[in-house]
């Protein structure tokens, strides 16, 4: 019993202004495409320049190294993107990774027979618990996530140090099958990278196609309006921190599998790299826009810069400066694109309706 | 069967009884009664700060009342949040649009209720189509797949209306939905509201436009200072009677523009153009004069104002202040030249909602009030006090955040902010949008006073009585062009509307 069947509509349709050829393509999607394309171009240019300097940069071994190197950062960037989209930030991911990596080592020390899938699940669960601590504190204290996770960054790391008490875990302490997970390839692609790809694809699909995924964008875009629309803001934000923690836990287990040698300092300072990857990847730091694909590309780009500067024999100091410049360039590009889109939208709304 | 007869026979759909709500020490609602009957549109009127918006928030489930009873269909109604209100069939169109700028228009409408396909995935195509159907029903053209960012206020309001319609609500609450809409759009909205009523829904309509209230509604409830005053059939009421009940006193003449001696030309605009927005706009404003820029929503009036002030660049033409050309694209130079702009959307463009009244009032005067680069709190407060007193801003204290003020008082703070810069030219966009009758006439008296002091005032307004009452000259825009200039004697409702709708466009 929709109104559209009545004559009212017809009269309305006749009085409405002539259709001035409405643009069909989704502007938002196009903007994201432009953003991700520019990342790919930057990545391509970087690889090209490095290759011209040293043609072994693109050998299958070094590609494998590259993919292996970025997998963990990509997984963390996905979790961070989920958080940032809701206008929050999770600074504790580096510490969660370190804690879970060490816990995994301890697990194999205590129970050498543990099958690696069980270790993986336990690691993810421990990460999720840490994330739940973050989410719970934010919900209860009603303090910005920046402050809470800054606190838990030190708290989780502190637990890690207390537990480790200066001790180091070596590859010899861990089962072969587990360590192989970290270096094995499937059809020439490192398994770690495949895991990262699955995480990216799943998170991207979720954010794009599910109601609760879209609600994350709504929360970050305008929290007050989200509340008025009946979006369970508190619950979603809590879930996002649990997800970010769980992904950091996954990254922690994979870190243990890849490096084998673990102490309490594993993953120190990683959180800022992760945030940098997301920002370079076009995730708006004030929430509401951005994609996990962009963030993943950002992570790949940052990792590639690291290794290509090494190949080009550039001082590590410059590596930091380049990353900094890249962040500023990414923000500049975002502003430029946003301004151009705003101008186009304004023009359109002035003519239309 | 007349709507009145039907209203008395059918049991009320929603009853609010003795609803009370306080925010801290301020009692926003002090025992409000309201009965909504199926098939009826019910008007809620009252001055700003009378508690209308609080009542809306309670109906929306955003605020919980401190005490009082609510029943729906005779059963007690408990709203623990907006989701509860929604599932009870209550849809709300808020006064200030509440959209997600980053999401598409269709997503804004269907957030949390998107149509699904297999595996509970969102069916984007169906969602866009459903949004288009809603817009067809409203008779407007908005691309459902564009982001909400950059929509004009009128379009934002239309998206809100589409959102409310999409619920198939049993109770539709409209908090001043027409403030930003053009006449045709209002008619369509009313058509939709009436058809909802015919299907047995109840409508609660909040507006300051009495012609609309009497046009749409069968019953009318008056609130004053958070208390219930009366509920009557509109057929038994007159506008004068309603206004008296709202303010509790007789309102002086609504539009008291006094004749002021005309001085030199202060603002001169020549051939101003901005591609695709407006073109070849020329006019001048003299000191002591109020010039109204009239036209339908979307005619480009606000855009002209933005370009004159330098917020947007213009492609051709020039702006002269007292004979000197103003550099384009620099609001700072415009302010330095003695120009002030009070924008249409005060929430986003005129005020910093979290800051205090005094901070906001002196925001444009920081340099003059600071010594060695440090703002002096004392000077700030003195300046703020002077202007808030002159404008009669009602606030518990100057340190209160602007967000806690009612709409009319927020508008006064924006005015205070700009008047504190002692401008020679005041551009004011919709000076009384969403403001109650009492505050309205205060704003009008103030504008008249300012013109008397020699200010040149350019006023953009969509309310014809305001334009006709206040303006010495009326400029009418239609689709980005200045189509007509009318003197005070020539201007009447017919001549302005004729030009604004583009008929007989002879500039």
Residue A275, domain CATH:
1.10.3470
Nearest residue in chain B measured CA to CA from A340: B150
- Residue recorded with tokens 């202007």: B387
pLDDT given for residue A97 in this prediction:
97
CA distance linking residue A171 with residue A179, whole number of Å: 8
Residues spanned by the domain of A180: 19-49+72-342
Residue B83 C-alpha, separation from nearest chain A C-alpha, in angstroms:
4
Q: Distances in Å between the alpha carbon of A278 and those of A34, A40, A83, A237, A308? A: 16, 15, 10, 18, 20
Distance of residue A197 Cα from the nearest chain B Cα, in angstroms: 21
Name the domain count of chain A: 1
Find which of A235-239, B290-294, B459-463 is predicted with most confidence, using mean pLDDT.
A235-239
CB proximity B392 to A under 8 Å: no
Is residue B254 included in any domain, yes or no? yes
Under a CB-based contact definition with an 8 Å cutoff, are residues B381 and B399 in contact?
A: no
Closest-approach residue (CA) in chain A for B123: A209
Q: Across the interface, do A19 and B107 touch by the CB < 8 Å criterion?
A: no
* DSSP H or E run through A154: helix A145-164
Interface contact B353, partner A, CB < 8 A: no
Check CB contact under 8 Å for A288 and B298.
no
Number of domains in chain B: 2
Chain A residues whose CB is inside 8 A of the B103 CB are 28, 214, 217-218, 221, 288
Give the Cα-Cα-Cα angle A299, A300, A304 (nearest 5 degrees).
Answer: 120
Residue A171 in any domain: the answer is yes
Comparing CB atoms, the residue among A13, A23, A26 nearest residue B104 is A26
Residues B71 and B160 in one domain: yes
Q: Which of B216, B248, B280 is the last residue of a domain?
A: B248
User: Using 50, 70 and 90 to split pLDDT, how confident is the model at B445?
Assistant: confident
pLDDT beyond 70 at B269: yes
Residue A28 is predicted with a pLDDT of: 58
Residue A213 Cα distances to A293, B222, B262, angstroms? 15, 43, 61
pLDDT, average across residues A71-83: 97
Q: What is the mean pLDDT of residues B447-466?
A: 87
Do B256 and B205 sit in the same domain of this protein? no
Q: How confident is the model at residue B34 (pLDDT cuts 50, 70, 90)?
A: very high
pLDDT(A200) > 90: yes
pLDDT at B494 over 60: yes
Q: B223 in a domain, yes or no?
A: yes
CB contacts under 8 A, B 78-107 vs A, are 81-83, 86, 94, 98-104, 107
What pLDDT score does B121 carry? Answer: 93
User: Residues 6 or more apart from B247 whose CB is under 8 A from it?
Assistant: B47, B224, B437, B438
Instruction: Check if the interface score ipTM surpasses 0.85.
Output: no
- For residue A67, being part of any structural domain is answered with no
pLDDT the model gives residue B374: 65
Contacts with A8 from chain B: Cβ below 8 Å:
137, 191, 195
User: Does the CA dihedral B219-B224-B230-B234 come out positive or negative?
Assistant: negative
Range of the domain at B326: 249-338+423-506
Nearest CA in chain A to B190: A8
* Residue from B89, B115, B132, B143 whose CB has the most chain A CBs within 10 Å, to mutate: B143
State the average pLDDT for chain B.
83
Examine the domain organization and report whether B179 and B261 are in the same domain: no
Q: Do A229 and B120 touch (CB under 8 A)?
A: no
Residue A4 falls inside a structural domain? no
Note whether A253 and A119 are within 8 A (CB).
Answer: yes
Closest CA to A207 of A181, A236, A184, A182: A236
Confidence (pLDDT) at A16 = 36
**Residue of chain B minimizing CA distance to A4:** B137
Helix axes A93-110, A60-85, angle to 10 degrees: 120
A222 closest CB neighbour out of B94, B98, B139: B98
Give the percent of chain B with pLDDT over 70: 87
How far, in Å, CA of B162 to CA of B133, rounded? 9
Taking the C-alpha atoms of residue B391 and residue B416, their distance in angstroms, rounded to an integer, is: 7
Residue in A25, A222, A349 closest to B155 by CB: A349
Q: Which of B220, B210, B223, B121 is nearest to B440 (CA)?
A: B210
Q: Quick check: B349 contacting A, CB < 8 Å?
A: no
**In this structure, is residue A10 part of a structural domain?**
no
Residue B504 has pLDDT above 60, yes or no: no
Pull the structure tokens for residue A184: 């094995």
Residue B242 has pLDDT above 50, yes or no: yes
pLDDT at A351: 39
Residues of chain A in contact with residue B315, where contact means CB-CB under 8 angstroms, are none
Which residues 473-502 of chain B have a CB within 8 Å of chain A?
480
- Asked if B102's CB is within 8 angstroms of A221's CB, the reply is yes
Q: Do A3 and B298 touch (CB under 8 A)?
A: no
Answer yes or no: do B83 and B219 share one domain: yes
Tens of pLDDT along B310-359?
Answer: 988 888 899 999 989 988 888 888 888 999 888 876 666 667 777 777 77
* Contact (Cβ atoms closer than 8 angstroms) between residue A324 and residue A18: no
> What pLDDT shows up at residue B434?
65
Q: Same structural domain for residues B63 and B205? A: yes
Q: Which of chain A's residues have a Cβ under 8 Å away from the Cβ of B303?
A: 350
Question: Is the residue at B111 inside a domain?
Answer: no
Residue B14's pLDDT is: 94
* B151 touching A (Cβ < 8 Å): yes
- Element of type H or E holding A332: helix A316-351
Same domain for B236 and B254, yes or no, is: no
Q: Which residue has the higher pLDDT, B23 or A303?
A: A303
Considering only CB atoms, which chain A residues are within 8 Å of B122?
A: 209-211, 214
Is B37 in the same domain as B177?
A: yes
C-beta atoms surrounding A209 within 10 Å: 18
Verify whether the Cβ–Cβ distance B83 to A230 is below 8 Å: yes
- Residue A54 inside a domain? The answer is no
- Which of A2, A4, A230 is opposite residue B82, by nearest beta carbon? A230
Say whether both B238 and B254 belong to one domain: no
Which of A74-83, A159-168, B477-486, B497-506 comes out lowest in average pLDDT? B497-506
Closest CA to B60 of B86, B41, B36: B86
Instruction: Kindly determine whether residue A12 and residue B188, on different chains, have CB atoms separated by under 8 Å.
Output: yes
Facing residue for B276 by CB, picked from A4, A215, A351: A351
pLDDT confidence of residue A353:
36
- A284 CB neighbours in chain B (<8 A) are 102
Domain finish residue from B224, B248, B272: B248
The chain B residue lying nearest A219, using CA atoms, is B100
Domain final position from B248, B280, B301 = B248
Q: Which of residues 292-321 of B touch A (CB under 8 A)?
A: 298, 300, 303
Q: Are residues B68 and B157 in the same domain?
A: yes
Q: Would you call B142 and A218 a contact, using CB atoms and an 8 Å cutoff?
A: no
Percent of chain A with pLDDT over 90: 51
Whole-angstrom distance, CA of residue B204 vs CA of residue B56: 9
Q: What is the pLDDT of residues B369-393, one digit of tens each?
A: 665 666 666 777 777 777 777 777 7
Q: Where are the extended beta strands (E) located within B364-480?
A: 370-371, 374-375, 425-429, 456-460, 473-478
**In which region does residue B253 sit, left (phi positive, over 0), alpha (psi from -120 to 50) or beta (all else)?**
beta
Cβ of A345 within 8 Å of Cβ of B151? The answer is yes
Q: What tokens does B161 get?
A: 């209306």
Is residue A155, in this structure, part of any structural domain at all? yes
**Mutation site, B61, B92, B103, interface A, largest A CB count within 10 A:** B103
- A 147-186 residues with CB < 8 A to B: none
Evaluate whether residue A55 is within a structural domain.
no
Given a cut of 70, whether residue A255 has pLDDT beyond it is: yes
- Say whether pLDDT at A18 is over 60: no
Q: Are residues B165 and B200 in the same domain?
A: yes
Domain CATH code at residue B231:
3.40.50.300
Chain B residues whose CB is inside 8 A of the A211 CB are 112, 114, 116, 120, 122
CA distance B52 to B59: 11
Establish if A274 belongs to a structural domain: yes
Question: Do both B197 and B270 map to the same domain?
Answer: no
Query: Hey, of A84, A225, A226, A351, which one would you mutate to test binding to chain B, going by the most B CBs within 10 A of its CB?
Result: A225
| pLDDT at position A349 over 60 | no
């Amino acid at each position: 019993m929709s109104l559209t069947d009545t004559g009212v509509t017809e009269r309305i349709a006749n009085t409405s202004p002539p259709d001035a050829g409405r643009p069909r393509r989704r502007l938002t999607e196009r903007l994201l495409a432009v953003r991700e394309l520019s990342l790919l171009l930057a990545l391509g240019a970087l690889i090209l320049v490095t290759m011209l300097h040293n043609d072994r940069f693109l050998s299958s071994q070094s590609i494998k190294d590259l993919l292996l190197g970025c997998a963990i950062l990509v997984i963390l960037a996905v979790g961070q993107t989920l958080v940032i989209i809701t206008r929050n930030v999770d600074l504790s991911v580096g510490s969660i990774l370190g804690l879970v990596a060490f816990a995994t080592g301890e697990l194999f020390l205590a129970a050498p027979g543990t099958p690696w899938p069980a270790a993986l699940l336990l690691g993810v669960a421990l990460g999720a618990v840490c994330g739940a601590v973050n989410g719970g504190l934010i919900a209860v204290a009603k303090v910005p996530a920046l402050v809470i996770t800054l606190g838990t960054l030190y708290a989780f790391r502190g637990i890690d140090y207390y537990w480790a008490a200066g001790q180091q875990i070596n590859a010899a302490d861990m089962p072969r099958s587990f360590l192989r997970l970290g270096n094995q390839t499937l059809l020439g692609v490192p398994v770690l990278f495949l895991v990262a790809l699955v995480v990216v694809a799943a998170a991207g699909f979720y954010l794009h196609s599910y109601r609760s995924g879209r609600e994350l964008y709504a929360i970050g875009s305008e929290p007050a309006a989200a509340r008025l629309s009946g979006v369970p803001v508190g619950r979603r934000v809590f879930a996002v921190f649990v997800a970010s923690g769980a992904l950091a836990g996954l990254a922690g287990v994979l870190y243990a599998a890849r490096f084998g040698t673990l102490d309490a300092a594993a993953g120190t300072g990683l959180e800022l790299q992760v945030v940098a990857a997301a920002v370079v990847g076009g995730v708006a730091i004030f929430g509401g826009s951005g994609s996990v694909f962009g963030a993943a590309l950002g992570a790949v780009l940052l990792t590639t810069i690291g290794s290509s500067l090494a190949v080009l024999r550039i001082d590590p100091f410059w590596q930091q400066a380049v990353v900094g410049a890249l962040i500023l360039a990414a923000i500049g590009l975002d502003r430029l694109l946003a301004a151009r889109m705003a101008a186009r939208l304004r023009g359109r709304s002035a003519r239309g309706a | 069967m007349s709507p009145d007869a039907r209203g008395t026979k059918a049991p009320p759909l929603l009853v609010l009884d003795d609803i009370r709500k306080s925010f801290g020490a301020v009692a926003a609602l002090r025992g409000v009664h309201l009965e909504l009957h199926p098939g009826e549109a019910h008007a809620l009127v009252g001055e700003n700060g009378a508690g209308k918006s609080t009542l809306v928030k309670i109906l929306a489930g955003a605020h919980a009342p401190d005490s009082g009873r609510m029943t729906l269909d005779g059963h007690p109604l408990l709203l623990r949040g907006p989701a509860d209100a929604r599932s009870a069939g209550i849809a709300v169109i808020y006064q200030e649009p509440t959209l997600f700028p980053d999401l598409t228009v269709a997503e804004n409408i269907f957030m949390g209720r998107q149509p699904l396909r297999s595996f509970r995935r969102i069916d984007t195509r169906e969602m866009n189509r459903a949004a288009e159907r809603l817009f067809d029903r409203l008779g407007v053209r908005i691309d459902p797949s564009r982001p909400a960012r950059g929509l004009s206020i009128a379009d934002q309001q239309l998206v809100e209306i589409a959102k409310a319609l999409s619920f198939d609500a049993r109770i539709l609450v409209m908090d001043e939905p027409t403030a930003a809409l053009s006449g045709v759009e209002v008619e369509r909205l009313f058509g939709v509201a009436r058809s909802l009523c015919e299907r047995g829904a109840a409508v609660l309509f909040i507006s300051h436009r009495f012609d609309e209230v009497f046009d749409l509604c069968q019953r009318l409830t008056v609130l004053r200072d958070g208390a219930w005053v009366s509920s009557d059939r509109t057929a038994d009421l007159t506008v004068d009677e309603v206004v008296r009940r709202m303010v509790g006193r007789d309102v002086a003449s609504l539009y008291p523009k006094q004749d002021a001696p005309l001085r030199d030309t202060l603002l001169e605009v020549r051939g101003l153009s901005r591609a695709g927005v407006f073109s070849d706009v020329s006019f001048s404003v003299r000191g002591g004069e109020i010039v109204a820029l009239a036209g339908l929503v979307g005619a480009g009036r606000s855009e002209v104002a933005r370009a004159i002030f330098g917020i947007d660049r213009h492609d051709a033409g020039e702006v002269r202040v007292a004979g000197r050309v103003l550099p384009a694209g620099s609001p700072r130079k415009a302010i330095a030249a003695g120009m002030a702009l009070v924008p249409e959307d005060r929430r986003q463009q005129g005020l910093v909602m979290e800051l205090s009244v005094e901070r906001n009032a002196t925001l444009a005067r920081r340099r003059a009030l600071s010594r060695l680069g440090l703002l002096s709190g004392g000077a700030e407060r003195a300046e703020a006090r002077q202007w808030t007193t002159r404008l009669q801003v009602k606030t518990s204290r100057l340190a209160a955040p602007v967000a806690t003020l009612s709409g009319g008082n927020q508008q006064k703070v924006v005015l205070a902010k700009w008047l504190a810069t002692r401008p020679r030219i005041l551009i004011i966009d919709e000076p009384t949008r969403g403001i109650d009758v009492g505050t309205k006439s205060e704003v009008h008296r103030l504008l008249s006073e300012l013109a008397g002091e020699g200010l040149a005032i350019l006023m953009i307004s969509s309310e014809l009585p305001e334009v006709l009452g206040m303006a010495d000259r009326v400029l009418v825009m239609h689709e980005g062009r200045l189509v007509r200039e009318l003197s005070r004697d020539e201007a009447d409702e017919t001549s302005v509307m004729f030009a604004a709708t583009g008929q007989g466009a002879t500039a």
